[in-house]
Amino acid sequence: MRVLVTGGAGFIGSHYVRQAISGAYPALADAEVVVLDKLTYAGNEANLAPVADSPRLRFVRGDITDAEVVAGVVQGVDLVVHFAAESHVDRSILGSADFVLTNVLGTQTLLQAALDAGVGKFVHVSTDEVYGSIESGSWSEDHVLEPNSPYSASKASSDLIARSYFRTHGLPVCVTRCSNNYGPYQFPEKVIPLFVTNLLDGLTVPLYGDGLNVRDWLHVDDHCHGIQLVADGGRPGEIYNIGGGTELTNRELTERLLAAVGVGWERVERVADRKGHDRRYSVDITKISTELGYAPRVSFDEGLADTVRWYADNRAWWEPLKRRAALVGK
């Protein structure tokens, strides 16, 4: 069996690859894993270092919008797991062209290549942000899409293109929509690694607005486990929400991170709220739980403690990234 993992040097993609190579997913026990990654600012070959010597891993540096490159790597592939995306909301607000190019055109390029090559399964990894914001309750997979940022709009567009390749061409596509991920190897522009690394360095951390925006937190290992369940048994043409089951306001999350590092609220700087900042996300995971037996396995307390410990122990990984990206506080 051969698996193509796009964005496999990024945060979530590299976790999936490390798990696949290490034997965590029985269906991939002997699979060849091909990683296609452009190695933009958030892609890092160091994320694959623990499995880099495996004869089952092949790395290809390339852009998912490059039809020639994509056509080459998809040959002989049984499963595509498509993680590659521009994913940072703040960056999409400053400039959305790269998000449309990568997330929309890149996804279409991959889908067409998979169709031409006769790929057996295509899992398109998306986000709960495509639904917009919800005051109460949780989104089911058939909820209307109301994205509010250029990032989430580009992902909603890619979801619809993926669905169209199933409806029009019969390509066996599944779409997954996850809540906020956290864990080791996450690029330090995202809230948890940014806060942890700033606090470890004696810097302040920014808290948007009143701090009452709510997010559901999902450990990256649970997310990848859910993705593999969909790859193994998800029904073609279907969408599956993947959530972690821990909803926190940004203020509550900040309190936990301050406590984990052993500092107080004097290290928090209030900043103006993000443009179009969604108030609350919450996904209903009944479908994936009922059909595929999914349940989050990593408690948030355990997962957060392990994550903070990982960043404390791995300065050599994140310090160069923060210097290059100028991700520093005051």
Q: pLDDT tens across 275-307, in order?
A: 768 889 999 999 999 999 999 999 999 999 999
Q: If we measure between CA atoms, which residue out of 97, 113, 126 comes closest to residue 34?
A: 113
What pLDDT does residue 329 have? Answer: 40
Question: Rounded to an integer, what distance in angstroms lies between the CA atom of residue 228 and that of residue 141?
Answer: 18
280: CB partners within 8 A, 6+ apart: 133, 134, 135, 213, 214, 215, 247
What is the overall mean pLDDT for the chain? 94
Question: Rounded to an integer, what distance in angstroms lies between the CA atom of residue 176 and that of residue 95?
Answer: 26
Do the Cβ atoms of 80 and 119 come closer than 8 Å?
A: yes
Question: Which of the residues 37, 63, 86, 129 is marked catalytic?
Answer: 129
Do the Cβ atoms of 89 and 148 come closer than 8 Å?
A: no
Q: What's the rounded mean pLDDT across residues 12-28?
A: 98
Q: Is the pLDDT of residue 56 over 70?
A: yes
Question: Which of the residues 25, 131, 151, 281 is marked catalytic?
Answer: 151
Question: Which of the residues 37, 63, 86, 128 is marked catalytic?
Answer: 128
Q: Tell me the pLDDT band of 51, cut-offs 50, 70 and 90.
A: very high
Q: What percent of the chain has pLDDT over 70?
A: 96
Question: Rounded to an integer, what distance in angstroms lies between the CA atom of residue 50 and that of residue 57?
Answer: 11
Which residue type, as a one-letter code, is found at position 60? Answer: V
Q: If we measure between CA atoms, which residue out of 3, 66, 59, 61 comes closest to residue 31?
A: 3
* Catalytic residue status for 151: yes
Q: Read off φ and ψ for residue 228, nearest 5 degrees.
A: -70, -35
- Structural domains in the chain, sorted by start: 2-181+219-242 (3.40.50.720), 183-215+246-275+298-325 (3.90.25.10)
Written as one string, the DSSP assignment of 119-169 is -SEEEEEEEGGGG---SSS-B-TTSPP---SHHHHHHHHHHHHHHHHHHHH
For 11-15, 52-56, 101-105, 114-118, which range has the lowest pLDDT when averaged over its residues? Answer: 101-105
56: CB partners within 8 A, 6+ apart: 21, 30, 31, 32, 33
- How is the beta sheet containing 246-249 ordered, strand by strand? 180-182, 214-219, 246-249
Q: Tell me the pLDDT band of 260, cut-offs 50, 70 and 90.
A: very high
Which two structure tokens, joined as six digits, stand for 297? 């396995």
Q: pTM of the full predicted structure?
A: 0.94
pLDDT digits (tens, 9 = 90+) for 222-238: 999 999 999 999 999 99
Could you give the dihedral angle defined by the CA atoms of residues 174, 177, 182 and 184, in that order, rounded to the nearest 10 degrees? 10
Q: Tell me the pLDDT band of 328, cut-offs 50, 70 and 90.
A: very low
* Catalytic residue status for 185: no
